[in-house]
Each structure stands twice: as structure tokens, then as C-alpha cells.
Structure 1
Amino acid sequence: MNWKRLLLSLGICLAAGVAGSLYTAQSVFWWYPLLNKPAISPPVWIFGPVWTFLFILMGYSLYLVWNKGLKKKGVTDAVALFGVQLILNVVWSYLFFGLRNPRLAFFEISVLWGAILITKMKFLKIEKMAGYLLVPYFLGVSFALVLNLAIVLLN
């Protein structure tokens, strides 16, 4: 096991989570509660623990692919695409919570959803477990997409 690479992979993903939370923290307690939300909307306190867990899974998934070596066919492209979807994840937090623009955030999360799907498929080809580890993240963003759309429609 390459501990340095593992810690870097986890650190990159957790740093993205922290970056997104900087935008979220500004609005989650005073703006978000004022929105009309669907019945499926979970309590605010659950988001932190769930997303921390998802970012850890993402980090380990990245490690498994990166550890195959950037010279192996498809690895560099898969890691680059992973980076793109990670940036899109942070951008969604900025659009939704930072700019308080659920409509624009919905369009962006749709692109994020597609990027995660493609990343998951590429990871599966390189290292099956890495692809499987992205499934909870894909499901989490799928739920966020539905919730985002519902908020757009209700407000």
C-alpha cells in the first residue's frame, strides 16, 4: 500500500468537501430553512456526516485507480475526469448555497451527475472496487439532484 498516495487521495477529496462546506455554512442555517422543500428533504444535520463518508469513499476510490499507475491505459484520463467531477461538486455548493441560486445549481448538478456516471464507468474498467466505491456517491448526488429540482419547483 502506498500510504503517501492514499493520504493524498483522501486529502484531496476531503479538501473539496471542506471547500464546498465553506459556501454551505454561509446559508444552511438562515437561507436554506426558509426554502419550501419536499417531504423527502432530510434534516440539515445529516448532510455533514453523510458527505464526509462519501468523500472518504471517493478518496479511496481515487487511490485505487491512481495506484495502478498513470502510465496504465485509461488511468490518466480517469483521474483527470475524477478531478473534473470533484471541481463540479464544489461548484454546485457555490451555486446553490453561495449564490443561493437553486435553478442554476440544478443545471450544474445535472452535468455533475453525468460526469460521475462516466467516471464510475471508467473506474470500473480499471479497478472494479474503485467503481463500486463511487456508487454511494452517485446515489447521493442522484438524491441531491432530485431534491434540487424539487426546491426549484417549490420556490
Structure 2
Amino acid sequence: MLDRRGQMADGVAVRRGKDWRPIWAAAGWAVVVAMGGGLLTEIGPWYRGLIKPSWQPPDWLFGPAWTLIFALSASAGIRAWEASRDLADRRAVVIAFVANGVLNVLWSLLFFKLHRPDWALIEVVPLWLSIAALAWICWRRSRLAGWLLVPYLAWVGFAAYLNLTIVRLNGPFG
């Protein structure tokens, strides 16, 4: 990395004394999770045929909402990483983000690809809990990092209620 004078150290380039690895890692993970969920989200005949509540947001709103959520989550990850005291602290942040990302993509797989909103409804509980845990882990390192995850927590809480309503209106599945 480059030291403050622009010298190379440890074989990793750092610009103006800032380590860019956490930024690239957080942004990269956010893109991987967003793409994973996006590729599994099929808005086709099956989804269009579901009875949905009148209060469901329009389909076009989900893309911008998730983009904002992923940007805020990546920012929270960067802040928590930078505020971590040691490697164990950083490892906890990474594990929490990875677990949450896997659960996030799994929900899309269950709901959209496997056409099992009932299974997705069960899975949304650990997903929501993983966001709460992630917010707590980040908040302990950086108050702002924790607060940046509140919209994600709220959105998934809303999505869980929407999921429940779709199950009630359309079940049973399978």
C-alpha cells in the first residue's frame, strides 16, 4: 500500500493514505447480492397472476428502493470496517454481511424462482433478524453505520408483511 508520501507498502496501492480495499469489497459484495437477487427475480406470468394487495408499491419502485438500500448497506459496511479495532472485529462485520447477503438472495430464490411465497415467508424471519444483527454489529463500531441499515430493516419488515398478505390471498402453494 502507499504510505502518506505515496510510497508502495505491502504490495497494495492506497491512494492518499486511504485503504480502498474495504470500499471495493463492500461495493463488490453489494453488487453481487443485488445481481444475485435480481437474476432470480422473475416478473413473469406466475408473478403477474398473483393476487396482490392494493397497497403494494408499483413494480418500478422496487429497483430504486433496493439500489438505495444496497448503497446504504455498503456505506455501513465501510464505516463499520474502518471503525473496527482489530481483525476479530472486522471478521464479525464480514461474517454478518455475508450471512445477510446469502439470506437476501435465498428469499428471491424461494419467492420468485421456486414460486414458493410460503417458504419465503418462513425465510424472511431469519433474513430480518440478520439485518437487525447486522445493524447491531455495525452500530457497536459506528453509530452512523448502524443507522444506515435502518431503511433496510424497515423495507424488509414491509416486504415481510407484503409476503404474508400474498400468501393469505393466494395460498396454498406447491
Task: Tell me if TM exceeds 0.5.
Answer: yes
| Higher helix fraction (1 or 2) | 1
> Would you say how many aligned residue pairs link Structure 1 and Structure 2?
153
Q: CA deviation at 1:2?
A: 3.0
- Aligned partners of 1:61 and 1:134 also within 8 Å: yes
In structure 1, the gaps of 5 or more residues are none
1:56 to 71, 88, 94: 71
- Aligned partners of 1:20 and 1:93 also within 8 Å: yes
- Aligned partners of 2:77 and 2:93 also within 8 Å: no
1:90 to 97, 105, 126: 105
* Pair 1:23-2:40 in alignment: yes
* TM-score of the pair, normalised by structure 1: 0.91
- Equivalent residues in 2 for 1:63-102 (5 A)? 63-69=78-84, 71=86, 74-102=89-117
Higher relative contact order (CA 8 A, sep 6+): 1
* Pair 1:12-2:12 in alignment: no
- Aligned partners of 1:70 and 1:76 also within 8 Å: no
Who is 2:164 aligned against?
149
Report which of the two structures shows the higher radius of gyration computed on alpha carbons: 2
In structure 2, the gaps of 5 or more residues are 1-17
Deviations 1:14-64 (A, max 9, x none): 21101111110xx21322111011122111111111101111111111111
> What fraction of aligned residue pairs are identical, expressed as a percent?
36
* Pair 1:103-2:111 in alignment: no
* TM-score of the pair, normalised by structure 2: 0.82
Deviations 1:54-86 (A, max 9, x none): 111111111111223472664322321221011
